[in-house]
Amino acid sequence: KQEVTQIPAALSVPEGENLVLNCSFTDSAIYNLQWFRQDPGKGLTSLLLIQSSQREQTSGRLNASLDKSSGRSTLYIAASQPGDSATYLCAVHNTDKLIFGTGTRLQVFP
């Protein structure tokens, strides 16, 4: 059974720091991996999708890497801003469904 773990569970940093959020999964037979952002009381916004054949994806200040063989992904956030404060969820696409981690709650303070 696929299990997805995210560490740390919570992170509080000053503005301007570079951050790394970690995601690990137990079954490497995945189609892709997605990183989402969730603001309080809101739905999920897709940030990056990495296909299983890819190693990384970049969008603006965000960079996500995937090492399928070791069951790991990282989300790198450069030059963090208070507007980045949210919960970040990683999810692996396993057949027809997404299996989510429990998220990392990020707070960036001015």
74 binds another protein (CB under 8 A): no
Q: Tell me which of 46, 58, 70, 107 binds another protein, using CB under 8 A.
A: 46
45 binds another protein (CB under 8 A): yes
With CB under 8 A as the contact rule, which of the stretches 11-19, 41-49, 56-64, 66-74 interacts with another protein? 41-49
CA 84, 93, 31: angle at the middle one, nearest 5? 115
104 binds another protein (CB under 8 A): no
Closest CA to 9 of 27, 28, 23: 23
98 binds another protein (CB under 8 A): yes
Output the CA–CA distances (angstroms, integers) from residue 10 to 42, 59, 95, 105, in the order listed: 18, 23, 29, 4
Assign 83 to helix, strand or coil.
helix
42 binds another protein (CB under 8 A): yes
62 binds another protein (CB under 8 A): no
